Chains A and B, each alone.
With several copies, the nearest count.
Chain A
Amino acid sequence: MVKGINPNLSVTIGKLVLKNPVMVASGTFGYAEEFRDLIDLRKLGAIVTKTITIKRRHGNLPPRTCETSSGMLNSIGLENPGIDNFIQKKLPFLKSLGIPIIVSIAAEESPEEFEILIKQLDKINEVSAIELNISCPNQQKDKLISQDAKATFELISAARKLTQKCLIAKLSPNVTSISEIALACASAGSDALALINTLSGMSIDVKKRVPKLGAWAGGLSGPAIRPIAVKMVWDVYNKIKIPIIGMGGIVDTESALEFIIAGSTAVSVGTVNFVNPQASIEIIAGLKQYLVDNNIQNLNNLIGRLKACKD
């Protein structure tokens, strides 16, 4: 039964104000235009683009996806048209939506590439925030930037100097201590943290004795990884004070609530976009209903409100 309150879903991430905490995760929503027929994009709290690099990237050898138990592996390999094509061909549609656009960027070879990309994006008003993807498992590198606290600190410090825009650091769960990396991000001036990117994984076709992915390994996503992601959000929330954008296996309102109660200021909807394109919209409505049912005026009063469990 709906009580009289009209809850406030709006949240703030650095300078960025979202009308609701539900965004779509990088790489799982293309450049939004792919979903234009299926959902009302203007309802989203924000859209995070597929990760962009300076030059066009062709990505990895197919097959690039395979199904796993309650999850999937992907080895796309950051295929993207490059920053210039992105700005010319993809950004105009995103701009036209009138909602916050978060551009995800990555370097192919050297961290300096981030600086070039940031300078270019800093000039564009409609770019509301920049997400630094320092955690993509599909670049066949020995070590990701976000697997090294020092490298992370240096990269984000340099980035911080180049823009006043909201900076989000996207982290890899394949670390010994996520809070150590998160702390490096916070001290370097990152406005927020995006937790988590995919977990490194592999699946094998035992008949052919070959990997199911052309790139041998890929990143695991979907409901299977949710408990891992929720735990990392909770760990970081208790140690670091900058906002967290939680993701990893969110499929519905209940799973989104897990992340918010564990300490996420916003949530990012990923793999489920492929399965149920309506999920993000349904979650926005579902969160509102939860606040009403629980007589909570403001979503901010739900963030991190996990209590000790007793009968």
Chain B
Amino acid sequence: MKIVQVKAKIISNKKLSGHYWHLEFVSGEIAKSALPGQFVDLRVINGFEPLLRRPISIHGVSGDKVKIIYEVLGKGTQILSTKKGGQALDVIGPLGNGFAYKPTLKSGGAKNILIAGGIGVAPLVFLAEKIKTVKPLILIGARTKGQILCTQEFKALGCKVELATDDGSAGLKGRVTDLLKNVLEQVKPSRLFSCGPHPMLKTVSQIALENKIKAQLSLEEHMACGIGACLGCVVLTKSGYQRVCKDGPVFSNEELIW
């Protein structure tokens, strides 16, 4: 699958809530070949300060449009949030390996469970869309209600959504991984897919191992090149260091060494 660099036209760049933004740009090539779990690498400025591109998961595609959602954290995402529809955005993608999933499950058979932490919902919506027949169960965790994203999108896809918040303002009061434990007492899923903060992924991985369920985890690491050239974004696996940008960002939990 070919990587392309495009000056993509921005269609819209809107605030969702709080620090969360939704951006849509046009790129037929990327839209055509993008897989759930892959990401794009964005150049937010023409100059060299900030220097590096910013990796952002592909949230979805429709026709020749590519959607991302991002959280404004520092310089780069702040500048990204100032972009206007009609402007050009320098994008490289699609990058990395997506989730290993079965697009069609035996109907009536075991569900997949998708576990998202914060902005980690981004790639999981794309995944939920691609999994036909037996729709996955969605577990979303966040600090507080206002930071829970995409519940409507998941429901529109026909997915059941359960929530957990640290402050109990929505769903279970506690961690999404606590929610996962509760759920696993009833359901025996075929596979877990998760994206979110590192500690959360670590816990999901442990739970998966204890319950002998396969889990696919999407990791983050600081990236310089995004295309596997600099060896900067490595994570420790049973086969040594692997590149999150090229060998990942999705890894199966058995590979990873925490």
Contact = CB atoms under 8 A, between A and B. Distances in A.
A and B touch in the complex (CB under 8 A): yes
Interface stretch (B78-86, B104-112, B217-225): B217-225
A38 B230 contact: no
B231 A37 contact: no
Interface in B1-54: 2-5, 43, 48-53
Interface in B183-224: 198-199, 221-224
Interface string B48-92: 111111000000000000000000000000000000000000101
Given A69-B48, A274-B226, A59 B231 contact: yes
Contacts of A29: 229
A142 interface: no
Contacts of A82: none
A304 interface: no
A272 B4 CA distance: 17
Contacts of B49: 69-70, 223
Interface in A38-95: 38, 50, 58-59, 62-72, 74, 76, 79
A38 B234 contact: no
Given A34-B229, A65-B230, A277 B48 contact: no
A59 B241 contact: yes
B228 interface: yes
Contacts of B228: 30, 34
A63 B241 CA distance: 12
Interface residues of B, number: 34
A275 B43 CA distance: 7
Contacts, number: 104
A289 interface: no
B122 interface: no
Interface residues of A, number: 37
A71 B231 contact: no
A65 B51 CA distance: 12
Nearest to A214: B234
Contacts of B176: none
Interface in A246-290: 251, 271-278
Interface in A4-56: 27-30, 34-35, 37-38, 50
Contacts of A109: none
Main secondary structure, interface of A, reads: loop
A76 B227 contact: no
Nearest to A77: B231
B235 A62 contact: yes
Interface string B214-258: 000000011111111111111110001100001000000000000
Given A38-B3, A66-B222, A276 B43 contact: yes
B225 A64 contact: no
Contacts of B246: 34
Contacts of B227: 34-35, 38, 277
Given A69-B49, A79-B241, A275-B52, A74 B224 contact: yes
B92 A38 contact: yes
A34 to B, nearest CB: 4
A38 B232 CA distance: 19
A28 B50 contact: no
Contacts of B92: 38, 277
A251 B46 CA distance: 11
Q: Which 10 pairs across A and B sit closest by C-beta, in order of nearness?
A: A30-B229, A65-B232, A34-B229, A274-B225, A37-B3, A65-B224, A64-B232, A70-B49, A274-B224, A79-B231
Given A63-B222, A74-B224, 8 more contacts: A28-B229, A30-B225, A30-B230, A34-B227, A59-B231, A64-B233, A65-B232, A66-B222
Interface of B: 2-5, 43, 48-53, 90, 92, 198-199, 221-236, 240-241, 246
9 contacts: A28-B230, A34-B227, A59-B234, A72-B224, A79-B231, A223-B51, A251-B48, A271-B224, A277-B227
